[in-house]
Amino acid sequence: MTFDVIERSNQDGLPVALYEFQFGSTVWRYCGDEEDITVGGNVYSALAIQDGGIRMTGEPADDTMSITVDSTMPIAVMLNGAPPSDTIWVNIRRHHHGDTDAPIVWVGYISSRQQATSKSVTLKCKMLTAGFARDGLRLSYGRQCPHALYGIDCRVDKEAFAVVVEVEN
């Protein structure tokens, strides 16, 4: 069965959330299941991890995701004290036991860390779109090139297309 068929069925779905954290070239993969799960050649280690659910209010800056993890987890330890120099990205996938597919359902980054209990930490995450500094497209795309004709990034030689014209009075 395909992911969509399993997802829509009333009795066949056994959903598991798969969490992928990336800091530079280092990637950690975890699942909230009792056993490790392999999807697409990647092993997601079983860990006591859970999230507060996906919120989509229409205002990306307000749509935070809370992920609760063990305080000894490498990411929780890395966020203890001063924040890291680079962004820690988070991808959440939805997987069903017996399926080979696991589409991404949420993408974002860790914005802060809070001590939940003596043994657990809550990672506050923001959606990818909350980090956009500007609205809309930065370049206006045309059929062949997104740059303004003869502008700084344009590679067309202005002299090659120049036309000399004389105006008579």
The confidence band for 21, taking pLDDT boundaries of 50, 70 and 90, is very high
Q: How confident is the model at residue 22 (pLDDT cuts 50, 70, 90)?
A: very high
The proportion of the chain whose per-residue pLDDT surpasses 90, expressed as a percent, equals: 12
Quick check: 130 pLDDT over 80?
A: no
Question: How, if at all, do strands 104-115 and 50-51 pair?
Answer: unpaired
Q: What is the identity of the amino acid at 5?
A: V
Tell me if 107 sits within 8 A of 28, measured CB to CB.
no
Overall average pLDDT of the 138-144 stretch: 63
Instruction: Supply the pLDDT for residue 23.
Output: 92
SS3 track for 140-155: CCCCCCCCCCCCCCCC
Residue 141: is its pLDDT beyond 90? no
Give residue 5's pLDDT. Answer: 53
Mean per-residue pLDDT for 93-97? 83
Distance CA 130, CA 108 (A): 8
**Tens digit of each residue's pLDDT (9 = 90 or more) over 33-82:** 889 988 888 999 988 888 877 776 666 666 788 888 888 888 888 888 77
Biggest alpha carbon–alpha carbon distance for the chain? 89
